[in-house]
Amino acid sequence: MRNTVTNSNLNNHDLSVSHNPTDFRSLMNYFWNFMDSSNSEYSDLSPKIQVTEDKDAVKVTAEIPGIDEKDIDLKVSADGYLSISGEKKNESEENTKDNYFSEISYGMFRRTIQLPWDLDYEATTARYNNGVLTVSIPKSQTEKQKFKKISVAKS
């Protein structure tokens, strides 16, 4: 969980009454600044993912809008980790000059998940279309054979 408050987080922030928030708005600003500072450097751009499975493969879908496919680095390891990383670049200096307000984030992103299946990582394929990355990893033959449907006959 990214926003878990731990003792180490509390030790890095002065939560004493000395801040003396005078109104609800300043209290909420203090709270949100605290929560933002406890996140990792990649949190703003971390792709949202969905993992699905059918009888033949596991599919990982990640939302990564606003970047080129050449800026995506995809790695899968034999021990079941899939890592999606890359960089959303600000191509124009005019976008950073004289900005009044911007919620657009630029920079590095990374998301690593562990897949709990026996998969054929050598046959992994990936597509990137309209800001959505789809990674398909076929199940190994042993994974496909782990379960067998058994018919139950009426006695």
pLDDT the model gives residue 102: 75
The ranges assigned to domains in the chain are 7-37, 43-91+104-144
Alpha-carbon span 46 to 111, nearest angstrom? 6
- May I ask the CATH architecture of the domain 43-91+104-144? Sandwich (2.60)
Residues 6+ apart with CB under 8 A from 21: 27, 30
Beta strands in 18-79 (DSSP E): 48-53, 57-63, 72-76
109-143 pLDDT, tens digit per residue, is 999 998 877 888 899 999 999 999 999 999 987 76
Task: Locate 100 and state its tokens.
Answer: 């009044």
Residue 127 has what pLDDT? 97
Task: Supply the pTM of this predicted model.
Answer: 0.61
- Specify the range with the lowest mean pLDDT, choosing from 8-17, 49-58, 119-128: 8-17
> What's residue 123's pLDDT?
92
Q: Is the pLDDT of residue 19 over 90?
A: no
Ramachandran quadrant class, 36 (left: phi over 0; alpha: psi -120 to 50; beta: rest): alpha
60 or 91, higher pLDDT: 60
Residue pair 88/106 in contact by the 8 Å Cβ criterion? yes
The H or E element that residue 72 is part of is: strand 72-76
Best mean pLDDT range from 17-21, 88-92, 105-109, 134-138: 134-138
